[in-house]
Chain A
Amino acid sequence: MTLKQLLALPVLVVWHGLFWTFERTTWQYDLMVIAILAFVWVTPPGWLSDPMADGPGLIGLITQLFR
């Protein structure tokens, strides 16, 4: 892999994330699903002003632990 290709890699990753052409049951799809679930379950509901959620979420629990 050349330096030019290496530098272009993050741009490619962002482009493919934005312009989604991958099918279901591909590793790219798996990666996206993991990222989404991480956002949903890890983000403290307070950050999103969630009117219904209870509990601090994973990040909230960790920050409470280190406080």
Chain B
Amino acid sequence: MPLVYADTSALFAFFHPRDEFSQVVTDAVLQSVPDFVYWSFLRYELRHNLRQSRTDSDGEVAWKALRAGERTHARLRWQSDLRAESVIEVADELSAQTALASKAGSADFLHVAAARRLQLLSGLDEFWTCDAEQGALASAAGLKVRRFELKTPPRGSRR
């Protein structure tokens, strides 16, 4: 199974049935059947956003699915090599090189730094995101990027 670093935008879309990117991300998962990288910052950011969405039955379904995924230890593959302090060091180096040319935020740099570190340590197949700026940063860092886009605004969308 390919090992994919999906950032929080992509993982949230995968777990939440009403996210605007839910369909495209799920299609990609069913097609390539990846295991996802999981580490402390990604877990915190994903859990935080899913906790805040637990206001209705869809949010509850998403939370339950995340917890089931976490219990597998395989589909969400915990990376003990990704320690926060070392990833922050890599992110700082990346920021020093590219901050001026990028609109990506500090958390985005952390994701790309983690993925790049993992790529060097043990290999990584792809980096998935729904975010254009995050995707551009990952691509500039030498990662193979799959960026999800909405082809047409879904019917009945509510913003």
Chain B associates with chain A: no
**Chain B positions near chain A (C-beta within 8 angstroms):** none
